Structure 1
Amino acid sequence: MSQRKVMTAFLDTSLIFLILYFCFFSAVSSSLYSSSCQFQGQFHLNGMHKTGDLILGGIFQINFFSADPDLSFTSEPQQPHCSGFDIIGFRKAQTMAFAIDEINRNSNLLPNVTLGYSLCDNCLQLRIGFRAAMSLVSGQEEQVTLEENCVGTPPVLGIVGDYTSTSTIAISTVLGLYRVPLVNAMIQVLKHFGWTWAGLLISSNDYGVYAARSFHSDLGPAGGGCLAYTEILPWGEDPAEIRRIVDVMRKSTARVVIVIAHQIHMIQLMKEVVRQNVTGLQWIASVGWTSAAALQTPHLMPYLGGTLGISVRRGEIPGLGDFLLQIRPDHKTFGENKMVNQFWEHTFQCRFAPPPAGWVEAGGELCTGQEVIENVETEFFDVSNLMPEYNVYKAVYALAYALDGMLQCEPGRGPFRNNTCADLQRLEPWQMIYYLEKVNFTTSFGDEVSFDENGDALPVYDIMNWVWLPDGQTKVQRVGDVKRSAFKGEELTLDEDKIFWNFESKQPPQSVCSESCPPGTRIVRKKGEPECCFDCVPCSEGKISNTTDTLECTSCPEDFWSSPQRDHCVPKKTEFLSYHEPLGICLTTISLLGTFMCVVVLGIFIHHHSTPIVRANNSELSFLLLVSLKLCFLCSLLFIGRPRLWTCQLRHAAFGISFVLCVSCILVKTMVVLAVFRASKPGGESSLKWFGAMQQRGTVLVLTSVQAAICTVWLVSASPVPHKNTQYHSDKIVYECVVGSTVGFAVLLGYIGLLAVLSCLLAFLARNLPDSFNEAKLITFSMLIFCAVWVAFIPAYISSPGKYADAVEVFAILASSFGLLVALFGPKCYIILLRPERNTKKAVMGRGIGS
């Protein structure tokens, strides 16, 4: 027995294949040093042969019926008998013979080398195809003498395979590697129209099984879709199974059905489709029935109209028609060249007069073999639109170009180890692969033929469309193609305006298990269902999806938030006490109004500075108090507007110092009132020396300096800073000033409160002094208002979020400032402006008439 290394490379989706191989023999007989290899058996095959320097093999379907001999299990079985001539299969074989003859006449390709061929019939039977392949690989001589213990030139250098998918895949599984590139072409069409939910019907053969595997792997989530169902069409008549399959189709939501099957299967299937009246489906046809005339009938067009089929590129082969017309039977070789004889029998049977003695009898009538073949009307001579023959032609030329490159190798400059060239006597398969990968030529039809790194031909597929004409007739037209190149991958070109859609809308159907999830939503898989069946769930707040069919929503950046549609991020709304909002405008107006009132009162006091009521109780302190009140009103403006570092640092310092200055003036005025009252009593004159003008100024300065020191320490140790707070609202940024040090803020407020309480107590003690105009009462009332405002401020400030905390503080500043201004200066302005008769020394001292 012999071991053989074999490599297969496909040419196009017609599954015409090239088998390149090199064989070496290991002697396993009793003699270890035998110089010959013995065949264990020999197959008797129908075929055509031509001698040459190098032989190429071919396997084609010439007969399509075979009769198996009876098996007795006691003797070697007889060879199967084949019958039923396939004229198209014979034309493929003749195309290979034509290509080899054309190459032999081409002085630029394989010069000084004559190609021969050995073509075998597979009878449309896998087992016979196996026998033919092994015969071509092994040769047919009973004893083959080879060099170096069964190492030598193989009988054939390559095999051009059959068009039938099943036999091609099966044989190539044994003899080499295989691919099913047709599936990729179909998936390109599905993706183009967005058909992610499709049904798959396959024949129960090798090609159908491999196609199903490819669809399940390529049309998955990574490929953009999935299959609604996969059904295997039964061989022969099985009405129950066909009914079940059509029932699955009818109930499925998939509107696209892919059928990879022979036309016989489709005919069986369509009978049940018509019976159940299953319409509204978009059919995708494989090569097996893309151009099946038996299905293009008026009664099937309501169901199959608009079908899109994948077909291998058809082409023209110049000179093939004339070559076919030259075929003649040779009486001398009659019986040896069985294929030619069968062709003549098939072509001329039942047409002409009886022939002379010695010619064959065919179908009950005889043929002469001398008829004018140009006048015979047969499909055999129609070479206007060739598909499998075109690929046979390209396959033969691919092998020829590879061999040509191999034979042109110069010794010492070869591509292999030690710069050697390939030797036909010791040919290794990887050496042939090397040259086959380098093949790159263009046919007369303009198609480029080359191979990829896997040894697969770069294919071209035509997209065919079944058009239902108004008169009820049909035609199959080309509407696009799928080309695969080594650099750009697969490219789909479609002329959608030419496509006939068998739907009322005249538009491509929608075939999805679930509609695409729009931007703003994400996919949630349905448990227990295919992955392309899902629900669309809106993205949660703060997350978006800006593409369709997103599995996960993405979070927006920190300063952004999701739009209402959840399809893009928008800047978060910012919130702070703004000058442009009603609350900010109102507080700003009140602040400016208070400042203006302070200016007016100060003007009144300056204008009437010589009057007794102004001069009473140190007018200088009154002027300083008005200035401090004005600063209190103005510092409230620092709490309005977007917080900045300088406003955060200045707002509390200005507020604290301004109010301490104000309260310090009130405290000193209260102390002066008490000192004057004590000086009016016997022995109390000495108390006034401690409350002169310098002492009063110094006291105010010292008390205010303490607050300034507190503010300085606070700002240096833990300065207030602006902060973007997102805890109140996820979709908003609340700008606020964090106090930095809560202790510092508490000490600042506590110091103001201490001075205010002290002033209130002293004023309360002096409330009953016997003056007609007792200022201590006014101070007591103003301090009560001040303390009440700030006591209420603390809980309100703590419980108010964001900008409302600033508003509460501004309100407290304005309320306390107005309380002091009105309580301390309101009565005085009333007397100055409206009751000038009371603005006298006697009235102020309580000795005048006070009405």
Structure 2
Amino acid sequence: MQVVEQNYTYMPEPLRCTGSVVSRELRFSRAMIFAIEEINNSTELLPGIRLGYQIYDSCASVPVAVHVAFQLSSGLDPVFYTGDNCSQSGMVMAVVGESGSTPSISMSRIIGPFNIPQVSHFATCACLSDKEQYPSFFRTIPSDQFQADALAKLVKHFGWTWIGAVRSDSDYGNNGMASFLAAARREGICVEYSEAFYRTNPRSRIQRVADVIRRSTAMVVVAFTSPGEMRILLEELSLEPSPPRQWIGSEAWVTDPDMLRFSFCAGAIGFGIEQSVIPGLRDFLLDLSPSKVAASPLLTEFWEDVFNCRLRKSAASNESVCDGTEDIETIKTPYTDTSQLRITNMVYKAVYATAHAIHNAVCQERKSTTQCDKFTRIESEEVLIQFKKVHFSQNGYDVSFDANGDPVATYELVNWQKTESGNIELVTVGNYDASLPVGREFRINRNLTWVEGSTQVPVSVCSDSCPPGTRKVLQKGKPICCYDCLPCPEGEISNATDSPDCFLCLKEFWPNAERDTCLPKPVEFLSFNEVLGIILAAFSVGGACLAIITAVVFYRHRTSPIVRANNSELSFLLLFSLTLCFLCSLTFIGAPSEWSCMLRHTAFGITFVLCMSCVLGKTIVVLMAFRATLPGSNVMKWFGPPQQRMTVVSFTFIQVIICTIWLVLNPPFPMKNLTTYKERIILECALGSAVGFWAVLGYIGLLAVFCFVLAVLARKLPDNFNEAKLITFSMLIFCAVWITFIPAYVSSPGKFTVAVEIFAILASSFGLILCIFAPKCFIILFKPEKNTKKHLMNKNQSWDK
């Protein structure tokens, strides 16, 4: 189209088109003529009525399209026919066109107020579905709203979340891209850049768009452009090597055969209108004789451009004159290519839709025949009303319009694939049907070829997916598709890819090493199966055996002076209590239960008090025995065997009462300790009442201190007859062990608390048996010469001499 600057000093010249004929558009116009001739020869559709037509070339220019629209709406015709051929000359019933959205919008605004129906075969802008603005507009091609939704689902299907976008700076490109971006946003897709350009922009503008594509990190580029803009952009990109890009195309350019020459776009995918077969069309297109061509200025221009010759000799041209041997069948152009009739079928359906609307307005069904009155005067408004009711089937395709003037949206998914010869061909690999339920509209039934001939789906993401065990943290100032993957905090997991948050495991569960699942926490307690438990159990059993062996030795030598002199009855009772003390530590090993928790503390408390009572009784007897040797003293009658037994029973009974109160009011119980260690459960016995526990322990300590004080008082009595010195040492060890036990018990974590308690029991028990009984057993077994009454009565000798 030639653009002329006007200075408003003279009338502007008529608009003229420049450039060569677009052979694809020529095929569209010839398909319209073919459809009209089919209808005029039909005996079922508009019988007896012939449709007339007039074809205008808008040159894809809005001013030319507007000029034509005004001419059609005014009905200005240079010739007025009065014959039988036309009911009313100059009366336009409908307009088929335009091929572009922007010219269609301009035309619809002009002819719409005159109620002239307009049906387009290629105007896809979603804006044209607005019946308030475009009440008389219909189309046989689906709205871009459906295509935009389909493209967004396609991008999401292949996992692309980081894309670039380019569009025509026109109604088609701007509205189509706006619909796509809204759908992409709903699908969680981010756009790195969105560039708009038009074919009339300066080359610097086109270069800037090409540079943006080259510098971008997005592998996928979605292009919502018309063929004219796309051709210019791809030509610019072909001038300088560019990183490989996966092109996703809108229907307007991705199915244009002329675009297939850009080999670096191999692997491009997009949606195309469904293919169709129109019987007889190819023969009609190829039926061009020089006489037919010469009768049409448009065909003449096409013929001369294709064969590079002139039908008529011109003095101003050096081109040769066509000699009549030219054969259109030998020429490969979009005009002759009927292998993939897509938009051509939309033209075909648009003409038939117009014919059906006129048929319904002027024809009536009478019995088995159809009567049409060709002299009936009809207004375009009547045809417009019938357009809304059109519903027919042609060549296996249903044609109808919804309330917005749109057809049912169905697309083919097409892929640019290289053949063995190196050429690129358009291959249908799937389809999309918007009328199907959600989630089932989209289907791929063939393998796709991707950019650079790859069979692997290219990756186009701003950030790699965050694996389970991590969470997404958005990068500041960037789209939501750009993020960092941070490991889940301690105690939390994420079990899904790209999880925005981590969540805590339940109290009794803990994350695995990968932090993608919660596993039951291992339950920990002092077990007989672990080394520490085995060692402590061995010492416990060993101590009990040592006490029994000592008792056996004492029993076998019960008549010996050293056994009789050291209160054999209390000694046997003490050895029995020490055996129980050693064995009670076994109750602390193993999984705590309700009964074991109550048994371990009460058994410990009672056996140790019994032990301390025996030691205390022996210490008192030693003290009183020496006092009884004083003249006039009869104190020993108060500390004979019955009194000794009563003392032991009384002291032990007090501890029994304390334990009973503890067990009745708030006894120990098994519990799962979830606080000491986060990653594991400590199975332990809770004290129930801390007062009860410390009362039991305090009572033992009180007896131990009392015993220690008495033993200290008796330490200077004659050695050979006195075991107070040995008791003093044993009490020193006992008190030292239990004094250090308190801080160790409080600070020890988990099962080591139990181990500390067992160690204190065993250490104090071993201290008692070794300090009190070991020297005596040594004399009995290895120094029998000292185990005599004479030696014991000798005050000048000690046991260790």
- Same topology, TM > 0.5: yes
Residue 182 of structure 1 pairs with residue 147 of structure 2: yes
Query: In 2, are the aligned partners of 1:99 and 1:393 still within 8 Å (CA)?
Result: no
Counterpart code for 1:716: V
Q: How does 1:152-167 map to 2 (within 5 A)?
A: 159-165=118-124
In the alignment, what sits opposite 1:266?
A: 230
In the alignment, what sits opposite 1:22?
A: none
Which of 519, 525, 550 is the equivalent residue of 1:601? 550
In the alignment, what sits opposite 2:165?
A: 200
State the 1:663 CA deviation.
0.4
Map Cα deviations across residues 260-315 of structure 1 (whole Å, 9 max, x no partner).
22232223223322222113222222222224444433xx42x2232223322212
Which of 400, 406, 418 is the equivalent residue of 1:468? 418
State the 1:231 CA deviation.
0.8
Q: Percent identity?
A: 41
In structure 2, the CA distance between the partners of 1:82 and 1:768, relative to structure 1 (3 Å rule), is closer
Cα distance in 2 between the residues matched to 1:643 and 1:688: 47
Cα distance in 1 between the residues matched to 2:672 and 2:412: 63
In the alignment, what sits opposite 1:828?
A: 776
In structure 2, the CA distance between the partners of 1:346 and 1:242, relative to structure 1 (3 Å rule), is closer
Cα distance in 1 between the residues matched to 2:572 and 2:386: 110
- Helix, strand or coil at the partner of 2:733: helix
Unaligned runs of 5+ in 1: 1-64, 145-153, 332-339, 356-362, 407-423
In the alignment, what sits opposite 1:390?
A: 345
Map Cα deviations across residues 407-447 of structure 1 (whole Å, 9 max, x no partner).
xxxxxxxxxxxxxxxxx9999999998x88xx8x98756x7
Normalising by structure 2, we get a TM-score of 0.77
State the 1:506 CA deviation.
5.3
In the alignment, what sits opposite 2:44?
A: 105
State the 1:707 CA deviation.
0.9
Which of 272, 296, 304 is the equivalent residue of 2:265? 304
Residue 218 of structure 1 pairs with residue 183 of structure 2: yes
Cα distance in 1 between the residues matched to 2:310 and 2:758: 123
In structure 2, the CA distance between the partners of 1:758 and 1:155, relative to structure 1 (3 Å rule), is same
Counterpart code for 2:342: M
Which of 694, 709, 725 is the equivalent residue of 1:746? 694
Map Cα deviations across residues 805-843 of structure 1 (whole Å, 9 max, x no partner).
222211111100000111121122222222334334444
Normalising by structure 1, we get a TM-score of 0.73
Select the structure that is richer in strand: 1
Which of 774, 796, 806 is the equivalent residue of 2:722? 774
In the alignment, what sits opposite 2:276?
A: 315
In structure 2, the CA distance between the partners of 1:660 and 1:698, relative to structure 1 (3 Å rule), is same
In the alignment, what sits opposite 1:284?
A: 248
Residue 459 of structure 1 pairs with residue 409 of structure 2: yes
Cα distance in 2 between the residues matched to 1:404 and 1:606: 131
In the alignment, what sits opposite 1:10?
A: none
Map Cα deviations across residues 649-694 of structure 1 (whole Å, 9 max, x no partner).
3222211111001101111222222333333332222x23322333
Query: In 2, are the aligned partners of 1:179 and 1:456 still within 8 Å (CA)?
Result: no
Cα distance in 1 between the residues matched to 2:243 and 2:617: 102
Residue 93 of structure 1 pairs with residue 32 of structure 2: yes
In structure 2, the CA distance between the partners of 1:767 and 1:518, relative to structure 1 (3 Å rule), is same
State the 1:210 CA deviation.
1.5
Query: In 2, are the aligned partners of 1:631 and 1:658 still within 8 Å (CA)?
Result: yes
Residue 554 of structure 1 pairs with residue 503 of structure 2: yes
Stretch moving more, 756-765 or 713-722? 713-722
Query: In 1, are the aligned partners of 2:354 and 2:387 still within 8 Å (CA)?
Result: no
State the 1:321 CA deviation.
5.6
Map Cα deviations across residues 68-89 of structure 1 (whole Å, 9 max, x no partner).
99897999x9997889694223
In the alignment, what sits opposite 1:757?
A: 705
Q: How does 1:214-253 map to 2 (within 5 A)?
A: 214-220=179-185, 222-236=186-200, 238-253=202-217
- Helix, strand or coil at the partner of 1:317: coil
State the 1:229 CA deviation.
0.8
Cα distance in 1 between the residues matched to 2:441 and 2:564: 101
Query: In 2, are the aligned partners of 1:90 and 1:343 still within 8 Å (CA)?
Result: no
Cα distance in 2 between the residues matched to 1:181 and 1:382: 27
Query: In 1, are the aligned partners of 2:659 and 2:696 still within 8 Å (CA)?
Result: yes
Query: In 2, are the aligned partners of 1:166 and 1:205 still within 8 Å (CA)?
Result: no
Cα distance in 1 between the residues matched to 2:786 and 2:412: 114
Query: In 1, are the aligned partners of 2:35 and 2:352 still within 8 Å (CA)?
Result: no
Query: In 1, are the aligned partners of 2:28 and 2:344 still within 8 Å (CA)?
Result: no
Counterpart code for 1:776: A
- Helix, strand or coil at the partner of 2:193: strand
Map Cα deviations across residues 58-77 of structure 1 (whole Å, 9 max, x no partner).
xxxxxxx69999897999x9
Query: In 1, are the aligned partners of 2:219 and 2:460 still within 8 Å (CA)?
Result: yes
Cα distance in 1 between the residues matched to 2:617 and 2:353: 114
Unaligned runs of 5+ in 2: 77-87, 92-112, 138-142, 313-318, 362-378
State the 1:580 CA deviation.
3.1
Stretch moving more, 317-326 or 196-205? 317-326
Counterpart code for 1:312: I
In the alignment, what sits opposite 2:107?
A: none
In structure 2, the CA distance between the partners of 1:242 and 1:374, relative to structure 1 (3 Å rule), is closer
- Helix, strand or coil at the partner of 1:310: strand
In the alignment, what sits opposite 1:533?
A: 482
State the 1:128 CA deviation.
6.7
Query: In 2, are the aligned partners of 1:349 and 1:367 still within 8 Å (CA)?
Result: no
Residue 800 of structure 1 pairs with residue 748 of structure 2: yes
Stretch moving more, 541-550 or 225-234? 541-550
In structure 2, the CA distance between the partners of 1:694 and 1:394, relative to structure 1 (3 Å rule), is farther
